[in-house]
Amino acid sequence: MKIKQSYENIIFCVLTGVGAAVSFPKPGLFFLIWIAFTPLLTVLIKGRVKTSFFYALLSGFVFNAVGLYWLVAMLRFNTGSYVQAFAASCALWMYLALFWGAWGLFVSIAKKRFSSVWVLAVFGASLWVLLEYARTYFLTGFPWMLIGYSQYKFAEIIQIAEFTGVYGASFIIIFVNFLLSSWLMEAKSNKYVLAALGLIIALSVFGAWRLDKFKFFGDKEFSVSIIQPNIDQYKKWDDVYKEEILLTLETLAAAASKQKNDLVIWPETVLPDSVPFGRHSYLAANKIAQTTDALNIMGSSYSSGLGAIFNVSLAFSPRGNGYFAIHKKNHLVPFGEYVPFRKQLGAAFGVLNEMGDISKGGDAKVFKYKDIFAGSTICSENFFPNISRRFVLNGAKVLTNHTNDAWFFDTAAPHQHFIMNVFRAVENRKAALVCANSGISGIIEASGRIIVSTPSSEETFISGSFLQNDFLSFYTLRGDVFVKICAVITLLLFAVMLVI
């Protein structure tokens, strides 16, 4: 009997992991997340405390393995070894699963202390938020696939991010799953399912009002072209392809110039040289800005002349006198832009010894040209809400994100990366213009609606318009107050658990 129950529990845990993972793109079945945790919660609530960590860990591992499957192909490209790529991927999936395991353990303990479903749901949802926040920043952070991000299509429900950030959406999802799992286990009572539906409807009505308020929101409209050159990853830093790359950029610039733009944005490290000493690329960038007759924001590597290399975005005016402003990337990707614990890890993964380290910036420079005030995040900087907040607090009226997702090939990863920009737009109530080397690129308005987006792995450009505004949202001004509230709730209920 115990063996049969263990098998059933394992199946339930796998169902949660898979259901939660496929809520994200691709395939993006976002509605499944609202019920995905009920199998795991059934196991945790009915089961024993000593097995709860294992079962939640299993769900977390499946969730991350299914959702982040693309890590294997990406790491294989970088290491040249399927064995090393799979081992490193499993290590990351297991690390991320530890947060699930810890959550499951404490939820199981809380179930033994609290008889109230409402209290347990509040505790479980608050603790989940704290663990997601920890995952966002601990050990440089990896906030990929926070469950709130799955709701980027549910435009009404995500409007709460203006006050809570993405963590508010995560809280509601977990809270509703608690209510639904309790309803399933207490079939005679409909109060929990009615409460869950009532909460979703109430938040959707509120969200519809905020969504309507921030549609076409702003005081002045500007035209923009977003260039997606789709440069193959193996070509980007090979001098043999330098001329080919620059010709592609100039051809796309000439096509975009017909749109009479105010702004043209380009991907991360789109130039094949480090500026300003890579004169060929630098002169080409100047020429492109003149050709498009617009403010151009271009990604590049940047040499300080003192040995330091930075990942930067550069603002070029059409006057042809070089870049007039620079933003140096604040948050670097471990194993992509620098190697942590190089000495220890280099012994096991020899390819790491061949990688150089990028230097870290610390600015939040707003690019100001005529009436445009752009805050430019580079690649993974859009993972971190506080970086976008700093730009807006410094005067940005529109957000841009420049990335190179060619590392991920034609997988779910570029889609998963793109949707984070939806929340940065809602949190700060600023339009977000996203430019990726191979996609996904697009225009997102302050309401979080995706106005237009590109397919992945295609050379193209899109043109459209965006609105700027001076509005400062609650989240922009106050940051992660909601997370702090969840921390207080969790600590208070944990203290109660210790004394009852």
pLDDT digits 0-9 by tens, 407-427:
898 999 999 999 999 999 999
Quick check: is 255 in a domain? yes
Whether residue 455 is preceded by a cis peptide bond, meaning omega within 30 degrees of 0, is no
Share of the chain above pLDDT 70, in %: 95
Domain total of the chain:
2
CA distance 417 to 437: 13
How far is CA 360 from each of CA 196, 211, 255, 333, 432, rounded to the nearest angstrom? 45, 37, 35, 10, 24
Quick check: is 490 in a domain? no
**Domain check: are 380 and 308 in the same one?**
yes
Does pLDDT of 72 surpass 90? Answer: yes
CA distance 265 to 278: 20
**Domain check: are 208 and 257 in the same one?**
no
**Domain check: are 229 and 201 in the same one?**
no
CA distance 254 to 205: 45
- Around Cβ 109, how many Cβ atoms within 10 Å? 16
Q: Which of 55, 89, 67 is nearest to 22 (CA)?
A: 67
Residue 40: pLDDT band with limits 50, 70, 90:
very high
Residue 500: pLDDT band with limits 50, 70, 90:
confident
Quick check: is 273 in a domain? yes
**Domain check: are 81 and 205 in the same one?**
yes
Task: Choose the final residue of a domain: 163, 192, 214.
Answer: 214
Residue 352: pLDDT band with limits 50, 70, 90:
very low
Average pLDDT along the chain:
93
Q: Which long-range contacts (CB under 8 A, 24 or more apart) does 247-256 make?
A: 248/459, 249/284, 249/288, 250/284, 250/287, 250/288, 250/291, 252/227, 252/459, 252/461, 253/227, 253/288, 253/291, 253/292, 254/291, 255/461, 256/225, 256/227, 256/292, 256/461, 256/463
Does pLDDT of 302 surpass 70? Answer: yes
Cα dihedral 403, 408, 412, 413 sign: negative
Q: Tell me, what's the pLDDT at 441?
A: 98
Residue-wise pLDDT for 156-192, tens only, equals: 999 999 999 999 999 999 999 999 999 988 866 799 9
Does pLDDT of 206 surpass 60? Answer: yes
Determine the structural domain holding residue 313 and report its residue range. 220-470
Give the up-direction half-sphere exposure of residue 344: CA atoms within 13 A in the CB hemisphere.
2
Q: Tell me, what's the pLDDT at 434?
A: 98
Quick check: is 449 in a domain? yes
Task: Choose the final residue of a domain: 214, 232, 260.
Answer: 214
Does pLDDT of 354 surpass 50? Answer: no
- Residue owning tokens 């944990």: 494
**Domain check: are 123 and 261 in the same one?**
no
Q: Tell me, what's the pLDDT at 351?
A: 46
**Domain check: are 209 and 272 in the same one?**
no
**Domain check: are 229 and 204 in the same one?**
no
Quick check: is 498 in a domain? no
**Domain check: are 85 and 145 in the same one?**
yes
**Domain check: are 254 and 119 in the same one?**
no
Average pLDDT over residues 270-289: 92
**Domain check: are 17 and 131 in the same one?**
yes
Average pLDDT over residues 68-89: 90
Q: Which of 219, 144, 233 is nearest to 438 (CA)?
A: 233
CATH number at residue 241: 3.60.110.10
Quick check: is 478 in a domain? no
Q: Which of 117, 122, 125 is nearest to 186 (CA)?
A: 117
